[in-house]
Amino acid sequence: MFIDIPSELEATLIAFPLPTRKLDGAFLATSTMERYRTQLTATPRFEETAATLRHALTEDGGGYAVLRLGNLAKVLGTDDDRFLRLATAFAAEVAVPFSPFPRWPLWKDIGVKVEKDPYKSSGIGYNAFHMDLVNATLPPDYTTLLCVRPDPLGGGLSILSDAHAAVARLSEVSRALLAEPAYHYGTFFDLFSVGEEYKPFPVLDGSDPGEGFVRFTAKMLERSELGQAHADAARELAEELVRGQVSFMLQPGDYLIVNQRRFLHGREALHSGQETVPVSERRLLLQLFLRVKVGDGSAA
């Protein structure tokens, strides 16, 4: 699931002048995506790399990939908009980039704030398995994280788990309980293009086994009023997700893309001592969401 950029493609992309991104509402404009694709398909081995990326995200047994853009980041700098245009162009080969948050740009910073809830994405604690925007009727099909800086103290491993494989290991009784709309989590306001608030929601959406979203966040176990049976079923799923997890450390320039219909993601706790690290040197990721085009079943 780790995809290296061929050296001849890297060499071309380093000097490649992609146009500035334009948005159409919350979404990357079709005209921008078309220009990116037209220009990049002329570069050596781009189409091969993009096909490998799509295959890793959508074929049986797949559901996430890490595109290794570290050499490009090293030469261009992660704070250079040329680098973000290249990352956006690769994302656009998978689905349509968009921002559900009107107060944020297309790419949203996820830094480290020692004073915040430690279990949030910007906190320093263990961020348990979840899908993003779990309580939206139309959550993003993909969530993506671009590593600018890992934790300099060595913590914060990314964790992923095959949600459908975990569900398949549950008892029939637990699966039936998880299919009932009994779960709550999160607030819902000031959002674009993610449908309506889903409250309460089922963890399993009624799709055929192995398909559809597994609407799960471990935080709902503590912050929802659940009956004992529904809570036990969700805890059983949480345990199976941990049992099947994979973990790895994102390096500068690594671009993690997660198919939310297949995998859930999270993060191990950052290393102790974050308050001693200057803000400008703390772990920093950039997040971007993707929506599959209507009629394109590539996320399924």
Closest CA to 250 of 284, 295, 219: 284
Q: Is residue 296 part of a domain?
A: no
* Cβ pair 58, 69 in contact under 8 A: no
Q: Read out DSSP for 14-70?
A: HT--PPPP-EETTEE-HHHHHHHHHHHTTSTTHHHHHHHHHHHHHSTT--EEEEE-H
Q: Is residue 262 part of a domain?
A: yes
Output the CA angle 32-36-42, nearest 5 degrees. 155
- In this structure, the chain runs to a length of 300
Q: Is residue 297 part of a domain?
A: no
Q: Is residue 299 part of a domain?
A: no
Per-residue pLDDT of the chain (300 residues; tens, 9 = 90+): 899 999 999 999 998 889 999 999 999 999 999 999 999 999 999 999 999 999 999 998 899 999 999 999 999 999 889 999 999 999 999 999 999 998 889 999 999 999 988 888 899 999 999 999 999 999 999 999 999 999 999 999 999 999 999 999 999 999 999 999 999 998 898 899 999 999 999 999 877 777 899 999 999 987 678 999 999 999 999 999 999 999 999 999 999 999 999 999 999 999 999 999 999 999 999 999 999 986 555 565
Q: What's the pLDDT at 186? A: 85
Q: Is residue 71 part of a domain?
A: yes
Note down the domain range covering 200.
2-291
Q: What's the pLDDT at 52? A: 98
What CATH code is carried by the domain that includes residue 115? 3.60.130.10
Q: Is residue 273 part of a domain?
A: yes
Closest CA to 254 of 109, 150, 152: 150
Digit-coded pLDDT (tens) for 165-202: 999 999 999 999 999 999 999 889 889 999 999 999 99
Q: How far is CA 286 from CA 112, 218, 295, in A?
A: 12, 23, 28
Q: How far is CA 123 from CA 6, 110, 202, 300, in A?
A: 35, 9, 27, 31
* Cβ pair 145, 231 in contact under 8 A: no
Pairing of strands 64-68, 254-259: antiparallel
In this structure, what DSSP letter does residue 161 have? E
pTM of the model: 0.95
Based on the structure, what is the number of domains in the chain? 1
Assign 293 to helix, strand or coil.
coil
Q: Is residue 18 part of a domain?
A: yes
Closest CA to 26 of 77, 131, 102: 102
Q: Is residue 256 part of a domain?
A: yes
